[in-house]
Amino acid sequence: QVQLVESGGGSVQAGGSLRLSCQASGYTYSRACMGWFRQAPGKEREGVAITLTGFGTSYADSVKGRFTAYRDNAKNTLYLQMNSLKPEDTAMYYCAAELNPIGGCSWSSIDYWGQGTHVTVSS
pLDDT tens for each residue of the chain, 123 residues long: 999 999 999 999 999 999 999 999 999 888 999 999 999 999 999 999 999 998 999 999 999 999 999 999 999 999 999 999 999 999 999 999 999 998 889 888 999 999 999 999 999
Note whether 29 and 38 are within 8 A (CB): no
How far apart, in Å, are the Cα atoms of 117 and each of 2, 30, 106? 18, 23, 22
- Cα–Cα distance measured from residue 105 to residue 55, given in angstroms and rounded to the nearest whole number: 8
